[in-house]
């Protein structure tokens, strides 16, 4: 009892709404780090294990919100957050609200407006790791919006993972989140499509992995080299000294035709080829491949 009291004095009480796989990982970590935790979930039975570890289960979202100076929300999306929080809005007035579900920048801005109208101190966030990594070294959480709220909550936020504050624009956390997921899915699709291509000749993924992931990706694609070229993207500088877009277009044509010949899905390389063709049509054929960045910055032309 004495230990619990001293822990309560040291760690900010936190309320958490949402006990899906991610919410559960957040809750387990907060309890483990000694935060007095109040939880609410649509399906209350999920809280059983947490209550056994000392968390308090509230009967309503409003009751949960009233228990702590800060409420973390980890529900499916912003629509769900609004649905759950609307009846708890009065209890939230004057308190901090940190949203950790995924979404879009426009939804983050709408959440700021909703909070502002109700006197709620809002911070937007995004979780960049899967549930088992929460609280572990290497876990990064993104935040944007009110710097005051971020700094005030640094202790509980740091207990969840390395908190990166991206700026006052509240849309930045989810924007970075979607951008990195964009990169993740594109990379995964590259690996899966390439594996299907060699698989069409009976090569098992396990054999291809050794060369493709063990050597090609780190050595030829080389993320460190991409980072060194980032200033060129900012400057719009694409010298075609070592490779040109014309040459890369040839390679993209080969990937598309090989996919068709081997009887596998060919939309993915065809789209990459069409993008490079458009860049060439814009007069960028003599620039290097990174010049497709100029196309990606513009909305897709619609016929």
Ligand X SMILES: NC(=O)c1ccc[n+]([C@@H]2O[C@H](COP(=O)([O-])OP(=O)(O)OC[C@H]3O[C@@H](n4cnc5c(N)ncnc54)[C@H](OP(=O)(O)O)[C@@H]3O)[C@@H](O)[C@H]2O)c1
Question: Number of residues in contact with ligand X, rule: CB under 6 A?
Answer: 22
CA distance 303 to 296: 17
Looking only at residues 204 through 233 of this chain, which bind ligand X when binding is defined by CB under 6 A? none
Does position 193 interact with ligand X (CB under 6 A)? The reply is: no
Residues 58, 63, 67, 71, Cα dihedral to 10°? 90
- For the chain, how big is the Rg over CA atoms in Å? 24
Does 20 interact with ligand X (rule: CB under 6 A)?
yes
**22 is a site residue for ligand X (CB under 6 A):** yes
Report the residue number, 172 or 279, with the smaller CB distance to ligand X.
Answer: 172
Q: Which is nearer to ligand X, 78 or 165 (CB)?
A: 78
Residue with smaller CB distance to ligand X, 23 or 105: 23
Give the Cα separation of 217 and 153 in Å (integer).
Answer: 39
Residue nearer to ligand X on the CB measure, 61 or 279: 61
Residue-wise burial string across 225-246, b where 16 or more C-beta atoms lie within 10 A, e elsewhere:
eeeeeeeeeeeeebebeeebbe
Least distance between ligand X and beta carbon 26 (Å): 9
Residues 29-48 that bind ligand X (CB under 6 A): 41-43, 46
The per-type count for the chain, helices as H runs and strands as E runs, is 15, 8
Q: Which one of 80, 178, 200, 243 is in contact with ligand X (CB under 6 A)? A: 80
Rounded least distance, CB 33 to ligand X, Å = 19
**From 37, 64, 74, 108, residue interacting with ligand X (rule: CB under 6 A):** 74
- Determine whether 282 is exposed, middle or buried from the number of CB atoms within 10 Å of its CB (0-12, 13-18, 19+): middle
Q: How far apart are CA 105 and CA 110, in angstroms?
A: 9
Q: Using the rule CB under 6 A, which residue among 14, 16, 19, 194 binds ligand X?
A: 19
Half-sphere exposure of 135 (CA within 13 A, CB side): 17
Query: Strand 140-145 vs strand 121-127: parallel, antiparallel, or unpaired?
Result: antiparallel
Minimal CB distance to ligand X: which residue? 20
- Does the protein bind ligand X through residue 88 (CB under 6 A)? no
For residue 122, what is the enclosing H or E element?
A: strand 121-127
Chain positions 127 to 186 lying near ligand X, rule: CB under 6 A, are: 127, 130-131
Q: Which region, judged by CB under 6 A, interacts with ligand X, from 4-12, 14-22, 182-190, 285-293?
A: 14-22
Residue 26: phi, psi to the nearest 5?
-65, -45
| 21 is an interface residue for ligand X by CB under 6 A | yes
Check residue 84 for interaction with ligand X (CB under 6 A).
yes
Of the ranges 18-26, 164-172, 227-235, 294-302, which one interacts with ligand X (CB under 6 A)? 18-26
Q: Which residue has the tokens 């908190």?
A: 163
DSSP calls for 64-76: HHHTSSEEEE--S
Q: Does 71 bind ligand X (CB under 6 A)?
A: no
* Structure tokens given for 166: 């991206």
Binding marks (x or -) toward ligand X, 91..130, rule CB under 6 A?
----------xx------------------------x--x
The site for ligand X (CB under 6 A) is made up of 18-23, 41-43, 46, 74-77, 80, 83-84, 101-102, 127, 130-131
């Amino acid at each position: 009892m004495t230990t619990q009291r001293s822990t309560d004095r040291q760690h900010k009480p936190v309320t958490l709404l949402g006990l899906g796989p991610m919410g559960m990982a957040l809750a387990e970590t907060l309890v483990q780090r000694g935060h007095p935790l109040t939880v609410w979930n649509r399906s209350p039975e999920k809280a059983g294990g947490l209550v056994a570890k000392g968390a308090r289960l509230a009967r309503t979202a409003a009751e949960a919100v009233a228990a702590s100076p800060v409420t973390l929300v980890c529900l499916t999306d912003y629509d769900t957050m609004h649905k759950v929080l609307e009846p708890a809005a009065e209890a939230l007035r004057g308190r901090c609200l940190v949203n950790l579900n995924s979404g879009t920048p426009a939804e983050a801005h709408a959440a700021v407006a909703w909070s502002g109208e109700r006197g709620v101190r809002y911070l937007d966030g995004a979780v960049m790791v899967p549930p088992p990594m929460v609280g572990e070294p290497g876990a990064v959480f993104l935040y944007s919006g009110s710097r005051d709220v971020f700094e005030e909550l640094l202790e509980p936020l740091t207990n969840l993972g390395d908190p990166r504050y991206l700026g006052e624009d509240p849309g930045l956390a989810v924007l970075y989140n979607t951008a990195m997921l964009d990169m993740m899915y594109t990379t995964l699709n590259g690996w899966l499509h390439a594996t299907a291509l060699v698989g069409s000749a009976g090569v098992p993924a396990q054999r291809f992995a050794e060369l493709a992931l063990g050597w090609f990706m780190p050595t030829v694609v080389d993320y460190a080299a991409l980072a060194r070229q980032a200033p060129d993207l900012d400057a719009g500088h694409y010298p075609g000294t070592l490779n040109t877009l014309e040459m890369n277009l040839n390679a993209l044509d080969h990937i598309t035709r090989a996919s068709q010949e081997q009887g596998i899905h060919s939309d993915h390389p065809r789209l990459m080829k069409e993008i490079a063709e458009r860049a060439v049509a814009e007069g960028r054929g003599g620039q290097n491949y990174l010049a497709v960045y100029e196309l990606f910055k513009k909305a897709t032309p619609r016929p």
